[in-house]
Structure 1
Amino acid sequence: MDAIEVDERDSTWENHHPHFRVYLQERSGDSYSTETVDLFDADVLQAIDWAQRAVASRTDAVWALALVGGDSRALRGLTWLVGMDANDPPSDEHEIDLTARMLGRAVSTIELPSADRWRP
């Protein structure tokens, strides 16, 4: 990870209502079956909590979280925030690390303060 100080005024827009996509994936042979769910009206910590709860009762399941966005042509795209699609083979050291950490979260959850937990 690199950390570089920047001028906070260099952005031109903000979005206070992010659109997240959660990949819920269970091992199925050599690949993963995938269920995708879009989340609205939540922040990233609530989305993480939702994802962890969604896979808690599943066997051999992992989750990944992406921010859904569009480009100037109105094409939808994903910015991975936590993990990545488990069916995509890692293409570099960064993705190998992402995958390993994602698989590790299958047995150990991220602890969040109660105020940041998802509320149905």
Structure 2
Amino acid sequence: MADPQITEVDERTTGWEYDSPVFRVYLQDAGSTEDVATPAATATYDVTGADLLQVVDWAQDRASGSRTYAIALVLDEGRGLVWLIGADANSTSDLPAELDAQRRMRARRTSPVGIPVSDRMPPDVRGDEAD
């Protein structure tokens, strides 16, 4: 990833929209180590019928301070992913952007993203995880 840049664009340049996204959530048991080369056990879930803030809320609740999480947008019926938050915790890349993403994932264990009450996942939606 390159350094962040912000560019104003014409909103009419959008060619298509999709209003039923599928988000893939990765919950990784990476332990307390700062060593990004340590493999992480990963539980993976697809979330539909929610927006990104609700998915972040759900992922943070599942991670509960001990695990990291990453969220991707699923494209092309599951064959492609666009990382939205975090990255693959099992990546062995030494690229600065990848290392920075993993560092920020670990930091969110103790400093979670603030989600307003109105944007939280409904409390009865807990998923079918077996943990």
C-alpha distance in 1 between matches for 2:74 and 2:101: 19
Q: Distance in 2 between matches of 1:75 and 1:66?
A: 11
SS of equivalent to 2:74 = strand
Q: d(CA) in 2 for partners of 1:75 and 1:47?
A: 17
Q: Partner letter of residue 44 of structure 2?
A: T
Instruction: Give runs of aligned pairs for residues 32-111 of structure 1, distance below 5 A.
Output: 32-56=40-64, 60-70=66-76, 76-111=79-114
With 90-99 and 35-44 compared, the bigger mean Cα shift is at: 90-99
Cα RMSD over matched residues? 1.7
Compared CA separation, residues 46 and 23, structure 1 to 2 (3 A): same
TM-score with structure 2 setting the length: 0.81
The percent of aligned pairs where both chains have the same amino acid is 41
Distance 1:48 1:75 in 2: 20
Name structure 1 gaps, 5 residues minimum.
Answer: none
1:67–1:79 Cα contact (<8 Å) kept: yes
**CA apart distance, 1:6:** 1.1
- Kindly indicate whether the alpha-carbon contact (under 8 Å) linking 1:90 and 1:99 is maintained by their aligned counterparts in 2: no
Distance 1:92 1:2 in 2: 19
**SS at 2:19 equivalent:** coil
Greater strand share, 1 or 2?
1
Aligned residues: 115
